Every structure is written in C-alpha cells, then in structure tokens.
Structure 1
C-alpha cells in the first residue's frame, strides 16, 4: 500500500499525483488534529448549558456532535494508517517531548463524545444508561493508560522553564476531566444505585489529582512570564490552556456536589448531613475557582492582540481559544441556577455566542491552511526517506 501511495513521486498524470498527495497528508498528520474536534465539541457543550434554549439549539448541537464524531474517526483512521505505512514517523510523534503532549487530546476527545452521547443519545432512548456507565470506566482506563506513560516519557528529559507553555499540562488533562465526565454519567443513574457511589467518589478523586497537578503547571506558567514576559508568537495561544483546570474543576465540583446531596443521603453514607455539607462546600470552592478562571481568561486575552504571530501554518494552536474556556462558561450557568443571579446567564449566553463565532472563524482558516498544504502535509523528500527507511528495516 505504501508503494502504491508513493507512485506519484514524479507525477506524470493526475492519478499518481493524487496518490502521493494522500501519502504526504498521512505522513504529515499529527495528534494536534484532535483540538479541532474538541473545539467543535466546545460549541455543543456551551450551547447545551444555556438557561434559555430554543428547539433549534438542540438541532444545531446535534449537528456539531456528529461533526465532532466524524473528525474523531478521521483522526483515528489517519493516524492508524500512518503507524502502518510510516512507523518511524508514528514513533517520532510519540517519543518527541514537543509533540507527544498532544497525545492525551485523543482521550479528551473521547470525553466530549461521551458527554455528547449522554446529552443527545440517552434521553431519546438511542443509548442505554448501562452503556454510558461502561463508557465511563473505559474513559477512566484510557486516562490512566495514556497519561501516565506519556508523563514518564516527558519527565525523563529536562525542560527549560523559559520555554514553558501551559500546553504542557495537556499530559494530565484526561485525568482532570474525569470529574466532568462523572457528573454527566451520574445524570443518567438513579441516586440509590450503588454504582453511583463509585462514580461519584472516582469523580472527586481523579478531579482532585488532575486539578492539583495542573495547578503546579499554572504556578510554573506565572514563574515563566515573570522571567520572560507574556507568551508571544504561537505560544500566545497556549495561555488559554491555563484557563481549563480551574474552570473545569469549578464545574465538576459544583455538579458533583449537587449529585452528592442525593447519593450520600439515599445510601446513608458518612452522616445524615454529609450530602448538604458536600454540596455547600462545593458551591463555595466552585465560586472561588470560577473567579480564578475568569481572571486567567482575561489575563490571556489582553496580551493576545499584540503578542500573537498570525501565520496560517500555526492555525492549529489557535483552537486553544475554544475548548479550555468551556469549563468556566458552563460554570457561569450552573452558578446562575444555584445562586439565582441572572447576570451569570447573560455572561454564559454571550460567551457561548463568542465561542460559536470563534469556531466559524477558525474552521475557515483551518480549511484554507489545509487546502494550501500548510498543515498536515509533509515534504516529498521526508515522506520518501521514511518509506525507504521502512523498506531497509524489512
């Protein structure tokens, strides 16, 4: 098959040229393709949390969910072909500390799909709650199986703090998002079900691990900008990644606290007032983390206009403007419900509109960059060299 794709090295007709163009696409694909799907998921996740939802919104959300699903399978199939045809390139992407930080985004994409399946598959009766429960444990398994080995590979080499980027925290993001997946799964389960206890506690445990580890990354981020100033160039996009941990943790704590009121009480755990205490504590910490996330978002937006280096070949990094902000935007709506403050709903609706507009802009420029061969497209000599190397090893 690899030989077939290489026929067009010196094209003499349209067919061979197309075949080798496909080879260059497959070789040039990377794990950095997953943020496109996650940015797509950000749209339906923010819209689904709105306080006022018109029926047309559900249709729009469902369309975005299926777009995300298609993008996920395109990424998986292309990277699988790359591993088969160009194993040296696949290994390079896994072992390179500057590139393997995007591998955990594969797991994060699964999280957006599981939440989408809950929102658009369970209520119509397409997907059974037992399937969602199984998917939760599959996600937990993937989180551990992917994050820990990549963390070992990444920390096995020293890194210069002066080049630090919050995107390095992607390594622990799958574990941090377990709490978010957990409270969505709990929405499909009866509070008296003993299985709900395990989901609740695992959600808290993994959310705690992920949040506190990512907080160390955020501390290093502040230390770095104290030494070198705001992130500039393509790294300016990575500043938005720092918004994710406090935002998603605020969302997870608040919703897990809501579930705790029923689960702890109905299962007679800890004490008769444990559920209410956990809930009240969750609201307090959620509000504090929400404020921190909003601060980080503003702290990222302000220098963005004069620090970003706008080049189409770096468009993939711009997708960081979307999915890390989902946590605090959804938290705004949840706090509006809990605290009965309408201002939170206005903030949530405004930000949901902004996220949708950003998706439209980024999608257009990503397609332009893809069409021009500025992304996911390797040089001919690089592809040929890896193919010759694969032949030699055989």
Structure 2
C-alpha cells in the first residue's frame, strides 16, 4: 500500500503505514506540548475523530465539531461531496455498536407487552416487533461475520480497541431482550419443557455475562491507559449484561416451578447487586468528569442516557423478583422474613432507585436539547434502550401502588419513546444510505483519544 505523508510537529512528513498501522505517526513532542489536537481525525486503525480531546472544549460547550480527515484517501469525511465507497469496503466499519439497534427493538417489544393500558392488537404488534428483533439480531450477526471474513484481523482489533470494545457487551444485552421477549410472547405457561429451556438459557447467560464482565474489565485495567477526564458512560457497558440477569430473573421466575424460581431469584439479586454496585463506582467518575470538564461534545451527549439504565433496570428487577417468589416463600422455617415484608421493601427500594434514574434522564435530556448532535452516531440508541428500563420501572411502580396517574404517566412516556425509536431508526437508515456511517472515520472503530 502506498504510504501517505502526515505532517509532524516540526513540519516534516512522517510516513503513515495505512490500514493496520498501530497509531498515527505524530511526533511525541506534538502529543506532549499540544494535547488538544484539532482538525486531526483518522480512519479505522489509528483514528483521532471524536476523541476525548475533541469532546472537551475547555470544559464547556460552544465549539464546532472538528473537521475530520481520512489520511488514507486525503478526503474530508464530513464533506457532503466526499467519495462514496462500495459495501465491501464499508462493511469494515460495521461495528459492535450495531447491536444497540437489536436491544432497543427488543426493549420496545417488552414495553408493548407491559403497557398498563392495552388496546386490541397491541400484543400482536408487540409479537411482530419481537420477531423483527430476532431477524435484526441475525442480520447483524451475519454482517459482523462478513466484516471479519472480508477484512482479516478486524475481529481481534474490534475486541481490543479502546473505544469499539466497550460496545461488545451490547450483543449480550440484545440476547437478554430476546430471552425475556421469548418468555413474554412465545412460551405457554403449561409448556413445561420450554420452561426448563428458559431456565437453562438463564444460567448459561449468567455464567457467560459474568465471565465477560470480569474478563473485559481485567483486560482494560491491564492494557489501556484511560484518563478520568475522558470518562464516558460506555465504560459502564461491560457490567450491564450481568446486571440484566436480574431483569431476566424477574421476568421468568413467576412461570418457573418453585424449585427453580428461588435459585433464579437469588442469582438474579446477586447479579443485579453486582451490576448496580459497579455502576455506582462509575457514576462517581462520571460526575467528577462532568464537574471538572463539563459536558461531552454534542455528538456524544446522547450517550449520557446510558446512566439512566442501571438504577431503572434494578428498580424493575427488584419488584419483578419479589413478585416472582412463591407466596409461601420462607427461607428457613420460622424466619420472620416473608412475602409480607419482602414485597413492600422491594417497592420502596424501586422508588428510591427510580428517582436516581429520573435525575440522570433530566441531565441527559437537557444536555441534548441545549446542544443537539449534528451527525448521526449509533450512540443515539442510548436514548431508547435505557429509557425503556426507566418506563418499565415506572409501570411496575404504578402497578404495585395501583396508582392510575403513574400508569398514565408511563403510557405518555411510552408514546414518547416510540417516537424516539422511529426517529432514530429513520435517521439510521438515512445515515447508511448517504454513508454518514459505515464510512472511514465515522464509526466506533476510531480511537477515543488516549491510545496514541
């Protein structure tokens, strides 16, 4: 491949080795003396587009998105008249973040099932969305495999990348929505064999997501050097799958025989507690980053909705798991702790956590309204899936309190979320067609700034 010259700090030209080069050949002096490098964005292998340096403008907003360049082609990747590429080349930029589409679609199906105010045909629409989610998931898997086959080495680079790798957990989240959707839409309560299948899938999911959470964080701790001033909510994603084990448990426990239900609920509480605890530690860094450096670049602000998810799904899970326990549940004979205590405690805890979700929802919403993104990114789906958990938690609280006002509030939020889903979906289709994504330098396979 022909080398492309990159100007160094001294004005000389340092060769760039093209696709596969480990980093942009910029002189160390420039990196040390000029940490905020503007107007320098690269392509897949060593790119500085949407970096933390770019996402912080003296701690505040009011800046314009930096002009990004693809050094391989010498083109402005934000120029509407930029060259168009064929699908075979664009598939190299089909990232793990695409699974956010599947998990958002699956979440929408669950939301339709849980609506407190049903109308004729809503469950059938929800079933259609559930089936569509399975098709979408399968299509994404095929596209990802095509990327790895056509562009050798992209599998390893994607799971070790300092930015894209944080989206690998979204495949587990998509699987979680399929499992819960299957429980809601595809399993008859009297079908004992399928009930046992769902129980088996739950335990496999717990083991796999726990191993992944430990493995990915261990790898990040060992290999990456991420500054706290670059903190983004995607850092929470590796713990999200194990946390959703509690949500799965809350959905399937009520249909399981007692000998299965109790261990599932205990495992669900354990996993939910682990996920929420790690999320709280991440929240401390997130708030510190916001206090010291201000809001992220406008292109990344929708990602703040990810902070809504952990307390919201935990609120949903604790109510669901409490209701999933047998009515005569007593851990030990003569123990004072029984369902008359557990269920009210679950509702109180859910309301406590719901308030934290509401706070993060307000922060994210205001930040996006003040400075909306200019270009489509797959992180827009963060405005859908975490908020689905927030609305489902609202519905559960309203049902437990038997409060009609809360239920209608949840219905209104559901309509808003449906509109958000449709808007993001249309924007995604448009972005694919006009090559705003799946294009060099425009996706999650570009460095987030610290891997220089």
Aligned to 2:184: 119
Instruction: Mark the CA change 1:324 to 1:70 in structure 2 (over 3 Å): closer, same or farther.
Output: same
Instruction: Mark the CA change 1:270 to 1:65 in structure 2 (over 3 Å): closer, same or farther.
Output: farther
Deviation at 1:171, TM superposition (A): 1.0
1:287 and 2:351 matched: yes
1:91 and 2:153 matched: no
Consecutive unaligned residues of structure 2, counting only runs of 5 or more, are 1-84, 442-452
Deviation at 1:284, TM superposition (A): 1.1
Q: Which protein has the bigger helix share?
A: 1
1:177 and 2:241 matched: no
Aligned to 1:231: 296
Instruction: Mark the CA change 1:125 to 1:84 in structure 2 (over 3 Å): closer, same or farther.
Output: farther
* Structure of higher CA gyration radius: 2
Task: Indicate the SS of the match to 1:262.
Answer: coil
Bigger CA drift: 139-148 or 26-35?
139-148
Q: Distance in 2 between matches of 1:38 and 1:234?
A: 21
The 5 Å alignment of 1:193-208 reads 193-208=258-273
Aligned to 1:142: 208
Instruction: Mark the CA change 1:125 to 1:28 in structure 2 (over 3 Å): closer, same or farther.
Output: farther
Q: Distance in 1 between matches of 2:386 and 2:144?
A: 24
1:318 and 2:374 matched: no
Instruction: Mark the CA change 1:110 to 1:269 in structure 2 (over 3 Å): closer, same or farther.
Output: farther
Aligned length: 355
Aligned to 2:366: 302
1:40 and 2:102 matched: no
Q: Distance in 2 between matches of 1:61 and 1:210?
A: 28
Aligned to 2:281: 216
CA RMSD of aligned residues (A): 2.0
Aligned to 1:3: none
Aligned to 1:366: 428
Consecutive unaligned residues of structure 1, counting only runs of 5 or more, are 1-19, 380-394
Instruction: Mark the CA change 1:351 to 1:270 in structure 2 (over 3 Å): closer, same or farther.
Output: farther
1:161-190 CA-to-partner distances (Å, cap 9, x unmatched) read 111111210011001111000111112213
Deviation at 1:141, TM superposition (A): 2.3
Aligned to 1:16: none
Deviation at 1:378, TM superposition (A): 4.5
8 A Cα contact 2:254 2:325, kept in partner: no
Task: Indicate the SS of the match to 2:153.
Answer: helix
TM-score using structure 2 length: 0.75
Q: Distance in 1 between matches of 2:417 and 2:320?
A: 22
Aligned to 2:35: none
1:56 and 2:121 matched: yes
Task: Indicate the SS of the match to 1:115.
Answer: helix
8 A Cα contact 1:118 1:184, kept in partner: yes
Off by >6 Å, runs of 4+ in structure 1? 124-127
Bigger CA drift: 140-149 or 219-228?
140-149
1:9-45 CA-to-partner distances (Å, cap 9, x unmatched) read xxxxxxxxxxx83322432211010111112122212
